[in-house]
Structure 1
Amino acid sequence: MIFKGFKLGMILQLAVGPVCLFIFKLGGNKGFIDAEFGVLGVALIDACYIFLAISGITSFIDRERVKHIFRILGAIIVAIFGLQTVLGTFGWEVLPNINLFSRTKLESSFLEGLVLTASNPLTILFWAGVFSTKIVEEKLTRKDVYLFGLGSILATVFFLTVIAAIGSVSRYFLPLEIISILNLIVGVVLIYFAFRIIIKRDK
């Protein structure tokens, strides 16, 4: 079940999103260790969301008004990260008084990974759907479900670690100007993701 969860998790990772871009940026700007602390923050929130999905909290989150509020809040958080990245390229701070961006590098990387991943609590609904399908199709026990979830988390850690490594290596052979351009692109894409979150409608 761990391997099955890992396979699904790796497939999901191929859909590059804001978290993946953020980890790449961390690796390029701060190095591999800092990026790994960001990965740790991401994995921790993913684990919490998977646990909540298994625990059946979806009945509350699946309400239309709650989903709308979560979507708007999530979009705002992603947009803030995008603006921080874009303006940071020019040496400006979008949130100069927020401690999140002024802590020690390792602590900041962990908290940023934590907050950015937590900005999309609707992920719980996705995992609830996955687990419900697996339970019916493969007649999984509760232990199997937890092992499947563990495999999915391991896939997240593995994939993002690779992204962190690629980002950290890039800082050694790419000129500073190129790194700045990449940061600018990442920031713009994050803002685009935020826009997509806001305009997205439930089918």
Structure 2
Amino acid sequence: MSKVFIKGLTTGLILQIAIGPVFFFIANIVLQKSLVDGLAILAVTIVDYLYITLAIAGIGKLLERKKVKKILGYISSIVLICFGVYMAVNVLNSININMEINQSSNLINSFISAFILTISSPLTILFWTSIFAARSVEYSLTKKELLAFGLSAGFATPVFLSFSIFIISILKSSISPLVVQLANMLVAIILISYGIKRIVKIIKNKSNKI
């Protein structure tokens, strides 16, 4: 069972390399606020385990329906764009002559924001379902071993994010307020771009079938 756990953790860590909008959002929270706000990674972990549980339970099969997948794709894209626009507006409104930034801690707000952003992409269930299907065949996992694999794969999220925000918190003291503002705007652009890219992809897929 320990080998299965290690395989799951390794798989999870490898997948973390594919950095997405949630990572940039968490990194921005720590850069702009405090290390305490970095505990928002708990929200990301909770959602990941929720989706892993649903994937193991087979809910991913339901989401394979084209209509459901398309609707969820639009919703998640719109959420990303809204978050990006909100962040961009905040950056523009917070810039002043001295380029000061607000570093007040608000863990609850950070947690809720990270939770909403992460859970806004339920198609992640399909991602985990495909991973589990591939690994269960490759490693010949039993149902019990698949649970252990899922547990360890999900554990990779807090491990990777904890290490990342720790490094960022160490370096942030040497980063100027201007750089923080630019980082905020970069994250906003990334979120908006991800959202638009998803919508364009959905529309293209629809056009190709006509």
TM-score, structure 1 length as denominator? 0.89
Map residues 64-143 of structure 1 onto 2, 5 A cutoff. 64-91=66-93, 105-143=106-144
Map residues 1-12 of structure 1 onto 2, 5 A cutoff. 1-12=4-15
Alpha-carbon distance between aligned partners in 1 of 2:135 and 2:88, rounded to the nearest angstrom: 41
Measured against aligned partners, the alpha-carbon deviations of 1:2-26 in whole angstroms (never above 9, x if no partner) come to 2111111111111111011001001
Matched residue type, 2:196: F
Structure 2 CA distance for partners of 1:84 and 1:167, relative to 1, 3 Å: farther
Which of 19, 24, 45 is the aligned partner of 1:16?
A: 19
How far apart are residue 137 of structure 1 and its match?
Answer: 2.4
TM-score, structure 2 length as denominator? 0.86
Measured against aligned partners, the alpha-carbon deviations of 1:66-120 in whole angstroms (never above 9, x if no partner) come to 001101100111111111221111227xxxxxxxxxxx81111111111111111
Matched residue type, 1:165: F
Cα pair 1:78 1:116 within 8 Å, conserved: yes
Alpha-carbon distance between aligned partners in 1 of 2:70 and 2:156, rounded to the nearest angstrom: 29
Name 2:100's counterpart in structure 1.
none
Identity of counterpart residues, as a percentage?
34
Map residues 139-150 of structure 1 onto 2, 5 A cutoff. 139-150=140-151
Name 1:101's counterpart in structure 2.
none
Cα pair 1:86 1:187 within 8 Å, conserved: yes
How far apart are residue 129 of structure 1 and its match?
Answer: 1.2
Alpha-carbon distance between aligned partners in 2 of 1:163 and 1:91, rounded to the nearest angstrom: 28
Cα pair 1:26 1:164 within 8 Å, conserved: no
Whether 1:181 and 2:182 are equivalent positions in the alignment is yes
Alpha-carbon distance between aligned partners in 2 of 1:132 and 1:181, rounded to the nearest angstrom: 41
Name 1:165's counterpart in structure 2.
166
Cα pair 1:50 1:127 within 8 Å, conserved: yes
Map residues 52-71 of structure 1 onto 2, 5 A cutoff. 52-71=54-73
How far apart are residue 58 of structure 1 and its match?
Answer: 1.9
Alpha-carbon distance between aligned partners in 2 of 1:181 and 1:140, rounded to the nearest angstrom: 46
Cα pair 1:135 1:141 within 8 Å, conserved: yes
Cα pair 1:4 1:148 within 8 Å, conserved: yes
Alpha-carbon distance between aligned partners in 1 of 2:62 and 2:132, rounded to the nearest angstrom: 17
Matched residue type, 2:161: L
Whether 1:28 and 2:36 are equivalent positions in the alignment is no
Q: Which moved more, 1:122-131 or 1:168-177?
A: 168-177
Matched residue type, 2:72: F
Question: How many residue pairs get matched?
Answer: 191
Cα root mean square deviation, aligned: 1.6
Who wins on radius of gyration, i.e. which is larger? 2
